[in-house]
Amino acid sequence: MLYGYADSILLGALVTLKVGVCSFAVALAFGLLVANGKLSSQRWLAWPATAFTSVMRSAPDFVWLLFLYYGGQTALNLLGQRMGFQAIDIDAFAASVIILGVIYSAYLAETFRGAFLAVDKGQAESAQAFGFNRLQVQWHIVVPQMMRFALPGISNNWLVMLKATAITSMVSLNELIFLSRSAGKATGHGLELLSVAALIYLLLSTISVVGLRLLAAHYAAGSKEITL
């Protein structure tokens, strides 16, 4: 089955899923911080946050991956040499997770910013009048409503980023595309094995869409239906 590379392809699919989930967790957390920075009335927060989203969205993902991965490793090695350390080897998985997370946090920051602005400010003011502190207002009033508006953008970014995990093959991470190409070169059946990889991406995307629609239905309870 799969020319003896079924286990290898399955391993690659699992690594792809792990990279996607971990990267997206980083992107969500950092994206929320950047969005709040952009909405801040403090210029020293708003300007760097705005510059970050503009710069990160200005170049293709693979350019940032190669620049940050190899450039970061070179910088660390130069710093290490000055401090008397031996060569530093950056883990491809950890680097891929962080870099993809940072890249997509810029896109999610814009999604969150728009969603925060769509929430009626009057409800937060009413909650404060009833004695809610700022943290309670954000957590119990603003964020649940913000999520209704943000979910379509979050869903789109997840699906795009899931496919973007394929570029991590350029840093020799043993993910789905890297192992499929390696198996194809070894067997001479590259087209067939890459077709299997494409079907796996389709399966992961389909499962994601179903799950995201269920999540959207949860947040849409009692309000206008969210369309993904």
pLDDT tens-digit readout, 128-171? 787 788 778 877 788 888 888 999 999 999 999 999 999 999 99
Inside any domain, residue 212: no
Mean pLDDT in residue range 90-97: 93
In a domain, 228, yes or no: no
Which pLDDT does position 227 carry in this prediction? Answer: 55
* pLDDT, greater one: 131 or 26: 26
Is residue 220 assigned to a domain? no
Cβ proximity of 56 and 64 under 8 Å: yes
CATH number at residue 159: 1.10.3720.10
Assess contact for 27 and 104: CB atoms under 8 A: yes
Domain holding 37, by residue range, is 19-174
Domain assignment of residue 216, yes or no = no
Q: Evaluate if residue 204 carries a pLDDT over 60.
A: yes
d(Cα 160, Cα 157) in Å, to the nearest integer? Answer: 5
Q: Is residue 119 part of a domain?
A: yes
Q: What is the reported pTM?
A: 0.89
> Mean of the per-residue pLDDT values for the chain?
90
Q: Residue 142: which of 17, 226, 54, 39 has the closest Cα?
A: 39
Confidence bin at 228 (pLDDT 50/70/90):
low
Distances (CA, A) of 138 to 37, 116, 120, 146, 205: 15, 10, 12, 10, 31
